[in-house]
Every structure is written in C-alpha cells, then in structure tokens.
Amino acid sequence: MLEIRRFSLLAGLIVLYSCSSLNVSVDYDPAVSFANLKTFNWAPGTPIKSGDFKSDSNSFLHRRIKTGIGGWFNSHGYEKINKAFPDFLVTYSVLVEKKIQIMSIEDYDDGYGYCDDYGCYQSGFSGYEREYEYEYDYLTITIDIVNSKTKKLMWRGKVGYEVSGSESPDTKTARIAKAIDRVLRKFPPS
C-alpha cells in the first residue's frame, strides 16, 4: 500500500510539472517606435532552420506555428500584405530538446508495532530519499519581428514548454496557439 502511495505521489508530481506554466521571455530595441506598425509579411527563409532534423522536418509543427502567428497578428489588427515593404517582417525558429528532470522524494517509515502477551514493541523510525528521472521533450518557439527596410531585429519573443508525443493533433494545435498568444501579447512592448 505504501508503494502505491509513493507511485501516486510521483505520478502526481510529474503531472503537475508537465502542466506547469509556459516559460516566456521578451527582448526589444527601446529606440524603435512600435506605435505605427500596421502591416506585416513573412520574412524570406521562414522558418529559420535550427539544425535539428526532428524540429526542422516536422511540417505539421511548422504549419501550426505559422498559422498561429499569422492568425494572432490578423486578429489583433495587423494586416498581412505582399508588397515589398510592409511595416515589419515576421520569422520564427523552433527547437525541440530532450531534457531530464530529477525529482527527489523523501519517504519516511515510522516503523511498525505489535503487542503480545509480554508487552508492546515498536521498531525504530527511518527516513530515506529516492530520486526519479523523468525524460521529456521541451519545445521552444522564438518569434522575431524585423524591420522590413533595415532588416534589423526590433523585437524577439521566446516561449517554451514541455511537449508530449501522445497528444492529439487538436491538443497540439491548441497548446501552440496558447503559447503563441502568451508571448505575442507582449507585442508591441508597452
């Protein structure tokens, strides 16, 4: 029974860890005026290749990301245009990394006791720690906003989270959309 409780605790910690919040970071050029940006287009060469075959060759992943980014900009009043110089260009890169999480769980055994005809007895208290390794894939999407004339980086946002290979296509699409929304809601910077 104690082993079942320990396993349940470990499983609960893994689920809690995997449902953790998205990790978002943003950087931008404070000299840039973002107020007048209204039109965008995809930068040539989008997406930027990461050099990782697993990330670069996943056309489903790239379609979800590109649709999510384009949809976000359209729904927030930015217009995608195909002329030579929109107000800004958008590009992105994606990286899927293997990571390992090591979790330590302290376990205590308060011993056992019994009574017989001669009295009651109890064993001593003992405590120990167990470590568990949890391997997972971590997806990082980097979105760059570039000045279409100077080709200088104006804004960069990164979002990362744990992914599971067992997710349905709809779940993957929803998680990517949520991640993109979470990072792009910091654009333009205030």
pTM of the model: 0.75
Residue 78 has pLDDT above 90, yes or no: yes
> In Å, how far from its chain's centre is CA 131?
24
DSSP 76: T
Residue 7 has pLDDT above 90, yes or no: no
Q: Set out the domains of the chain in order of their start, with CATH numbers.
A: 23-102+134-184 (3.30.160.670)
What are the two backbone dihedrals, phi and then psi, of residue 9, each rounded to the nearest 5 degrees? -65, -45
Average pLDDT value over all residues in the chain: 83
What is the rounded CA–CA span in Å between residue 70 and residue 64? 10
Tell me the pLDDT tens digit for each residue of 19-51: 458 999 999 999 999 999 999 999 998 888 888
Question: What is the pLDDT, as a whole number, of residue 124?
Answer: 58
What are the two backbone dihedrals, phi and then psi, of residue 159, each rounded to the nearest 5 degrees? -140, 135
* Average pLDDT rounded to a whole number, residues 104-129: 65
What is the rounded CA–CA span in Å between residue 163 and residue 172? 8
Lowest mean pLDDT of 43-52, 152-161, 173-182, name the range. Answer: 43-52
pLDDT band at 100 (very low <50, low <70, confident <90, very high): confident
* Average pLDDT rounded to a whole number, residues 130-139: 84
For the chain, the residue count is 190
What are the two backbone dihedrals, phi and then psi, of residue 77, each rounded to the nearest 5 degrees? 90, 5
